[in-house]
């Protein structure tokens, strides 16, 4: 059984098959028969798990397992306590309330790599960083949640899935991981 941790770069598709000249996982991983366990949007960065085991893939991705996923999100504006409370309680997206999430303001991560192209700086619009921990994974959920509370996401980086973290992986780097770590979750 193989489990890989990849730091998916910005503007990379979470798939191996070619698509309209876009960069895909095949540009970083040359191992046969591994597939993403979950997805990260084209414009999102960070931890993506890949495996060759269907049961492990289902255990990681199935919503019933409620595996926590941690995200750092740079948002437009400075969310107040009301916006943070709404994120923590869950917000309504497409007529459905999301599960409650752990949400808090954090400082800009010093360890975070620069992004190309960088986020557009606007002198009159401040930005802030949030840490969100979700136990579900609806399509574009983090972006939709922050927008719902009035603070659109400018940059989104997943840092943890269950017991696995990015640690010191740089964009495009990957390493093997121990799948038995999932037993504690």
Which residues have CB under 8 Å from 111's CB, separation 6+? Answer: none
**The Cα angle at residue 132 between residues 29 and 157, in degrees rounded to 5:** 30
Catalytic member of 27, 41, 52, 53: 41
Match 């917000």 to its residue by tokens: 91
Provide the CA 20 distance to its chain's centre, in angstroms: 24
Q: How far is CA 62 from CA 44, 55, 125, in A?
A: 21, 10, 38
Name the 3-class secondary structure at 87: helix
- 41 as an active site residue: the answer is yes
Asked if residues 7 and 166 have their Cβ atoms less than 8 Å apart, the reply is yes
String of DSSP letters for 43-65: T-EEEEEEES-HHHHHHHH-GGG
Which of the residues are catalytic? 41
């Amino acid at each position: 059984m193989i489990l890989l941790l990849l730091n998916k770069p910005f503007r990379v598709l979470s798939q191996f098959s070619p698509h309209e000249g876009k960069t895909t996982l095949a540009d970083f991983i040359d191992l046969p028969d591994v597939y993403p366990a979950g997805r990260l949007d084209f414009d999102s960065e960070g931890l993506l798990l890949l495996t060759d085991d269907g049961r492990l893939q289902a255990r990681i991705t199935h919503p019933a397992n409620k595996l926590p996923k941690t995200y750092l999100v740079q948002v437009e504006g400075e969310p107040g306590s009301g916006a943070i409370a709404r994120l923590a309680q869950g917000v309504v997206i497409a007529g459905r309330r999301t599960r409650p999430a752990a949400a808090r303001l954090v400082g800009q991560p010093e360890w975070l790599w620069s992004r190309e192209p960088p986020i557009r700086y606007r002198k009159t619009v401040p930005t802030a960083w949030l840490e969100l921990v979700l136990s579900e994974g609806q399509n574009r959920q983090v972006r939709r949640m922050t927008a719902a509370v009035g603070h659109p996401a400018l940059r989104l980086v997943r840092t943890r899935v269950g017991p696995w973290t990015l640690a010191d992986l740089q964009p495009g780097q990957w390493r093997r991981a121990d799948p038995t770590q999932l037993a504690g979750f």
